[in-house]
Structure 1
Amino acid sequence: KRWQHLWKKLATLSFIYFYDGDFYDDVTRVIGNTLTQCPTDVNLNKFKLKILCSIQHTSQVNSWFRYAITRNVQDVDLLLWDPKTGEEFSFYDELFFNNSCITRIKLYNCVFCPPNATICWDQLKFLSLKKARLVGDLIGITLSGSPCLETLELHNCYGVSRIDASSKKFKNLVLTNYGMRYSHRLADSLGRHRDDIEEELLSGLLSSLAHVKDITLGDYNCLDVLSRLRDKGFQFSRVGADGDEDRITELMDGAVAAAAET
C-alpha cells in the first residue's frame, strides 16, 4: 500500500494488451484514466504501447502521444492493431512529428500523416518501422527532418521508392521483406522487365552507400539481383580506398532475420 502513489512517478510507462478485441473501450478507458493520474513534471524515458485498438479510437490514442511528448519522452515503442479491419493506425498529431525530445522510435502497422508534410525530429537517432505504409516522399521528408538519425530500419514496409542515405551521421540501414510483388506491378505499368527495374534500384542504392563501412545483404531476391549486377561488371568499393575488398557481406535469410530482431 505504501507504494501505490510511487508508480505515478516512474520514468517508464508500458501498456500491453493483445487479448479479447471486444474490450477495446475498456482498455482505452483504463489507459486514459491512468494517464490522467500521472504527473506532467517528471520526464519519461520510455512510452510503450502495444494493444488491440479500434480505428475509432485514433483521436484518443494520438492524445496519449501528446501527453508522452509533454513529458519529454525519449523512447517510443508503438504497436496498434485493429484485428477486425486490419487497417493501419494513422499518426497525424503535429506534436508527434515536431518535437526535440524523442531519440528512439519503433512503430508497427502504421500510416504517416504529418501535418503540412513536414517532420522535425531534431534528436532522433533510431527509427524502426514495421508494416508501415510510406506513400509519396515520406522517407525523404523523414530523413531531411532527422539530422541526427544514425539507424533506419524498414521491415516489410511499402511505398518507398528512394532512400537518400548520404548523411555522414548515418550508420545503419536495414531493409527486410520488401515485397517483390510491387516490383511486378511497377514493371508492368512501365512496360519494362522486372529484372531491369530491380537492378536499377539496387545499383542506385549501393552507389549511394559508398561512404558506409559495412553492408550486409541477406534477402534471396536481393542476392540474386546482386549476382546479376556483378555478372554485368558492377563494382562496389569504398570511396577513396583503391584496392579495397568488396565490403558487401552476404547472409542467409535466417541470419538476417535473427539479426533484425535483436
Structure 2
Amino acid sequence: MDAEELAARWRERLESWAIPDEILAQAPVDPWSHSPERFGTRTDRALSEPDEGPTMTRLSEALPEKGILLDVGSGTGAASLPLHERIGHLHAVDASSSMLEGLTVRADKLGVPVTTIVGRWPDVAHQVPVADVAIAAHVVYNVPDLAGFLRALDGHTQGRVVLELPHRHPMSWMTPLWQHFHGVDRPVRPIAEDCVALAAALGFAVRVEEREAPLERFTSLADLAASVCRRVCLDPARAEEVAETVLELGMWPVPRDRWVTVWWD
C-alpha cells in the first residue's frame, strides 16, 4: 500500500480505540488523561538512572554539542532532559501546560535553556524553529493524522528524527479487564509495525531497534488498580475489586512492554 492508504488505515485503527459512548458517559474522570505527577516521577527516575537503550543512544550520537533539541509530546521531559549536558536549547511541545511546567522546573535546575509550546503537533509547528534533532516518545498512539505528524517532524529537523513507542497500543494490556467489567473487546491494531510501514512509505530511510521496556509498568498492585479504575471507567471505590480481579485473571505482575525505537537521518 502507498502512504495515503497506510495513513488512512492507521487513522481507522486508532479511531477503533474510542470508548463506547454509554461507558464513557459513566466515567468518574477522563479515562484518557495523564497525571503530571506520575510523569514527573518517571522523568526524575530517568535523570537519576541514565538509560543506555537505543533511543538515548541514537539521540546522543546525533545531537551536536549544545545543539537544538525538539521534544514533541514532551510530558515532563523524560526523553529529553537526560541529555541536559549536550542540549544548547530545548523546544518542548505538549498539549498539557501542567506537564510543561514540570519540565521547565527540572530544566531550570539542570541549566537547560527551554522554550515551551502548549498545543498539539503539528498544529503549533509554525512556532518552532528547525532543530538539530527531534524526539517524539510514546506519542504516536495519540496521533490520528500520523502522516502529517511525521512530515512536520521531519520538516522541522535538519538532522535526526527519533520515535519511541511500545510495540502494541499502551492500553492493550487491559483488554481482559474491559471484557470482564464491560463485556467489551478492545482492538489489536495499530501496532509499531504500522507506524514503521507508514514512515517508510513517506520516503524516510527508517531504521528500527527493539528491546524490553526498562521500567516496570506499576510498582504495586494498588497503583495498578487505581490506574485501571481511571482507564476502564470505573468508580475509584472499586479499586479493591479490580485488584482481586487482576489476581484472579493472572495479570499480576504485568509483563513488561516491548519498546521500539524508530529513527532516520
Structure number with greater CO (CA < 8 Å, separation at least 6) is 2
**The TM-score by the shorter chain falls in which range?**
under 0.3
- Choose 1 or 2 for highest CA Rg: 1
Structure ranking higher in strand proportion: 1
TM-score (norm 1): 0.26
